[in-house]
């Protein structure tokens, strides 16, 4: 597989605060990476830095062979980066279908395909965003990112606070994106044991630094490492 994303020696944060120190990893086209760590360790900051929403102090970000650092934040979606933040940021006063069509870009992901992935959204296509449950709003946030037809999907804790049944639906959808659709995905999640089976690689952050970069399955089998770096989040 060709290289899709390369991060080298990345140091970034907010204002004068440095959150990430010397982060390096690579992601191949159609690759998948679990981004793990306790709260406050820099996971969300890393995704935000990929989208240009933080202050990068040094290091390189190369996307599809080109320097991503030089691209302004508003231009990164058009290059193929789709971001689903923790806040979801759906348009509460627009219908489900309007949420999807207002951001749509040409490509294989269209209304038919996202409704097939999330049938609940198809059933509720006329409802307003603020009339959806939390799980349905999360589905809408992911579907909306897919309507941008990204090459790389960034998911920031998509399972947080959701009912077990919805969690299983979302896990199945994410697995389908990775295994059937060939979507490159970086997935932040507190529940390591739920997402490590979905991804090929894992990166664990501790105080803004990388303490593990390697095979997801090897990390999943190593209870000692999971407990040391993630504690109760490993269960």
Percent of the chain with pLDDT strictly greater than 70: 98
Query: Alpha-carbon distance 53 to 43, whole Å?
Result: 13
193 and 130 housed in the same domain: no
156 and 229 housed in the same domain: yes
Predicted local distance difference test score (pLDDT) of residue 139: 96
72 and 111 housed in the same domain: no
3-state SS record for the chain: CCEEEEEEEEEEEECCEEEEEEEEEEEECCCEEEEECCCCCCHHHHHHHHCCCCEEEEEEEEECCEECCCCCHHHHCCCCEEEECCCCCCCCCCEHHHHHHCCCCCCCCCHHHHHHHCHHHHHCCCCEHHHCCHHHHHHHHHHHHHCCCCCEEEEECCCCCCCHHHHHHHHHHHHHHHHCCCCEEEEECCCHHHHCCCCCEEEEEECCEEEEEEEHHHHHHCHHHHHHHHHHHHC
Query: Alpha-carbon distance 103 to 99, whole Å?
Result: 7
Give pLDDT tens digits for 23-37.
Answer: 999 999 999 999 999
106 and 155 housed in the same domain: no
**74 pLDDT band (50/70/90 cuts)?**
confident
Q: What is the mean pLDDT of the chain?
A: 94
Query: Alpha-carbon distance 6 to 24, whole Å?
Result: 8
216 and 137 housed in the same domain: no
Predicted local distance difference test score (pLDDT) of residue 208: 95
Residue 26 is part of a domain; what is its CATH number? Answer: 3.40.50.300
pLDDT above 90 (res 88): no
CB neighbours of residue 107 within 10 Å: 14
127 and 17 housed in the same domain: no
195 and 223 housed in the same domain: yes
Percent of the chain with pLDDT strictly greater than 90: 86
Distances (CA, A) of 226 to 41, 161, 168, 220: 15, 21, 22, 7
What global pTM score does this model have? 0.94
168 and 75 housed in the same domain: yes
Domain count, the chain: 2
7 and 68 housed in the same domain: yes
Residue 46 exposed, middle or buried by CB count within 10 Å (0-12, 13-18, 19+)? buried
Average pLDDT over residues 205-213: 95
Q: Quick one: how far is CA 188 from the chain centroid?
A: 6
Give pLDDT tens digits for 147-164.
Answer: 999 999 999 999 998 999
Predicted local distance difference test score (pLDDT) of residue 234: 45
Instruction: Give the domain-ending residue among 146, 169, 193.
Output: 146
């Amino acid at each position: 597989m060709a290289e899709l994303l390369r991060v080298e020696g990345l140091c970034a944060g907010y204002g004068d605060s440095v959150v990430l120190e010397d982060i390096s990893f690579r992601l191949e086209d159609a690759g998948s990476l679990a981004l793990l760590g306790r709260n406050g360790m820099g996971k969300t900051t890393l995704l935000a830095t990929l989208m240009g929403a933080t202050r990068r102090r040094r290091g390189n970000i190369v996307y599809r062979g080109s320097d991503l650092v030089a691209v302004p934040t508003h231009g990164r979606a058009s290059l193929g980066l789709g971001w689903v933040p923790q806040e979801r940021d759906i348009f509460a006063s627009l219908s489900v279908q309007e949420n999807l069509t207002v951001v749509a870009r040409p490509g294989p992901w269209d209304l038919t395909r996202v409704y097939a992935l999330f049938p609940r959204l198809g059933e509720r296509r006329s409802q307003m965003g603020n009339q959806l449950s939390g799980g349905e709003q999360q589905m809408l946030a992911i579907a909306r990112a897919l309507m941008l037809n990204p090459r790389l999907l960034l998911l920031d804790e998509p399972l947080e606070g959701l009912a077990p049944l919805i969690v299983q639906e979302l896990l199945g959808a994410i697995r389908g994106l990775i295994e059937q659709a060939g979507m490159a995905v970086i997935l932040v999640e507190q529940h390591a044991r739920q997402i490590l089976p979905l991804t090929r690689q894992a990166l664990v952050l501790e105080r803004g630094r990388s303490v593990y970069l390697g095979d997801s399955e090897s990390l999943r089998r190593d209870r000692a490492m999971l407990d040391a770096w993630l504690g109760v989040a490993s269960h």
